[in-house]
Structure 1
Amino acid sequence: MVLLSPSISALRKLLGICERYAVAHGLKYNITKSELLVFKPRGGTVGTVPPVYLYGSELKQVSEFKYLGHWVTADLSDGTDVERERRSMAVRCNMLARRFARCTKEVKITLFKAYCQSFYTCSLWVRYTQSTLNTLRVQYNNGFRVLLGLPRFCSASGMFAEARTDGFQAIMRKRTASLMRRLRGSSNSLLHVLAERLDCPFQHHWMLLHVQQ
């Protein structure tokens, strides 16, 4: 579970509620797996952070942590998570190329769509450098070339069009559009507000992604 708080004092109150609930229901939080992450203000720094305790033990402060497979960092940068996806894709692409080298082109394309187009949580990426995203795009393109045995410098758009397979930018647009549709259709009031606010960073990024790409 994750606790979000605007201040240390409020976080201590939330932890106190959790501790009392755990005692009342015969539960106990794992202190060694519990960590504290302080988000940095944009363009600013974080001063001395008072200690936060769970069961009398001080929580370890970290600069990043992995939550449901997605890396969250103190500066809210998505570069770490983009790199996580690139490494994962490299492993999957190499596995497919090695194990299914003798399969037909149609089978290889089907496998590529199933294993290499998930881009897990890519619709949440908002803050990243273009060079970081380009490394993932190049990995995606090269993985497809290697799997199909295509020349290294062949046209990426041409090979995907011929194979009737979505290119990198097409997948990014579809994933972000899918998330926006689900947010707008959600009955959750908080998600609905997030989807309708035009000044929201997610809104700005998603609109820019569809206009520029």
Structure 2
Amino acid sequence: MVLLSPSIRGLRRLLNICEQYARDHGLKYNVKKTQMMVFRAGKGPERIPSVFLDGVPVERVAQFRYLGHILTEDLRDNQDMERERRALSVRCNMLARRFARCSSEAKLTLFRAYCQCFYTCQLWVNCTASARSSIRVQYNNAYRILMKLPKYCSASGIFADAKVPDYFAIIRSRVAAFWFRIRNSQNEILRVCSECPENRIPKYWLAVHRGNNHK
């Protein structure tokens, strides 16, 4: 369960409601597994007051994994991109080791199934150029390793020859599909957020398709 509040006071009120609900229904929260993260607006306050659950202070963390996606207090996506880069490296090495003697067609099928997921890549809005470059290079190298190609061969050439989408094509596809679902959602809040001119996510999505965000 996730609670969101614009202030510590509001968060305390939400926790009080949860505590009362738990008492009324014979439930008990595991405070040791409960964590709090503060997203600062600008510099933010120097001191963050404590928040309590059942009289125990809630641990404050700098990052948190939610549904597999790593959130950080500075709202940057570098850590989540590194998570996916490492996962891609593990999957690639596993495929190269176990299926080294398979045909090229079988390897292509495996590559498409295991190396093109880029979980939650449509949310990578705030990150450094080096983080984007790192995961793109990992994707290129994964294909080279699996197909036993020279290390310095042209990435665009090998993907074009095999009719396999490169990193940029995958990102554009995932972003477009996600944007379509959000803008056509039955949830009015999601639709309004997707069309808000000050929202960073639509700006990022447009930049991806203009090619300004991945160069």
Shift of 1:113: 0.5
| 1:31-58 deviations in Å (ceiling 9; x for gaps) | 011011011224x244101110000000
Residue of structure 1 equivalent to 2:81: 82
Does the 8 Å contact 1:41/1:75 carry over to 2? no
Structure 2 gaps, min length 5: none
What is the alpha-carbon root mean square deviation over aligned residues? Answer: 1.0
Residue of structure 1 equivalent to 2:54: 55
Q: Which amino acid aligns with 2:163?
A: R
Indicate the percent of aligned positions where both proteins have the same amino acid.
Answer: 51
Normalising by structure 1, what TM-score?
A: 0.97
Q: Which amino acid aligns with 2:12?
A: R
- Where does 1:32-181 land on structure 2 (aligned, <5 Å)? 32-42=32-42, 44-181=43-180
**Aligned mates of 1:156, 1:198 — CA distance in 2:** 36
Q: Give the secondary structure class of the aligned counterpart of 1:65.
A: strand
Residue of structure 1 equivalent to 2:7: 7
**Aligned mates of 2:117, 2:23 — CA distance in 1:** 41
**Aligned mates of 2:44, 2:154 — CA distance in 1:** 44
Does the 8 Å contact 1:40/1:74 carry over to 2? yes
Q: Which amino acid aligns with 1:120?
A: Y
Q: State the number of aligned residues.
A: 212
Shift of 1:29: 1.4
Residue of structure 1 equivalent to 2:203: 204
Structure 1 gaps, min length 5: none
Residue of structure 2 equivalent to 1:26: 26
Structure 1 runs of 4+ with >2 Å offset: none
| 1:58-82 deviations in Å (ceiling 9; x for gaps) | 0011111111100000000000000
Does the 8 Å contact 1:3/1:11 carry over to 2? yes
Normalising by structure 2, what TM-score?
A: 0.96
Shift of 1:161: 1.1
Q: Which amino acid aligns with 2:149?
A: L
Shift of 1:26: 2.1
